[in-house]
Amino acid sequence: RKTPRLEIHRRGEVELDGQIIPVIIVDASIGGMRIHARDGRLPEGFGRGVTCALRVIPERPDFITDPIPCMIMNVSNDGHGVS
């Protein structure tokens, strides 16, 4: 990859139309994030060009995070990730 990436390995959730999918946020850069669905696959509807919300699950119980609007750019539904 041309863009430097920050490896973060954080838990998160992706939400679309009330459906919440647990994910691992693998890395991030100025151009986006790479995430993996924790069960290995995304359900139907989570595809390229779809706008959804990503929430980072805080590591501290007293820290609240708001969802971040995002657009899915690439999908590999074989357990290798989503960008």
More confident residue, 2 or 22: 22
Residues 64-72 have a mean pLDDT of 93
Please say if the pLDDT value at position 79 is more than 60. Answer: no
**C-alpha span between 77 and 37 (Å, rounded):** 9
Looking at 1-83, list the stretches that DSSP marks H as alpha helix, in order from N- to C-terminal side.
none
> What is the four-CA torsion angle of 38, 11, 80, 83, rounded to 10 degrees?
130
Residue 83: what pLDDT? 58
**Contact 52/82 with Cβ under 8 angstroms?**
no
**Contact 22/37 with Cβ under 8 angstroms?**
yes
**C-alpha span between 23 and 57 (Å, rounded):** 10
Question: Does pTM surpass 0.95?
Answer: no
Please say if the pLDDT value at position 2 is more than 80. Answer: no
Residue 43: what pLDDT? 84
Question: Model confidence over 16-66: pLDDT tens digits?
Answer: 999 999 999 999 999 899 999 998 788 888 889 999 999 999 999 899 999
**C-alpha span between 54 and 59 (Å, rounded):** 16
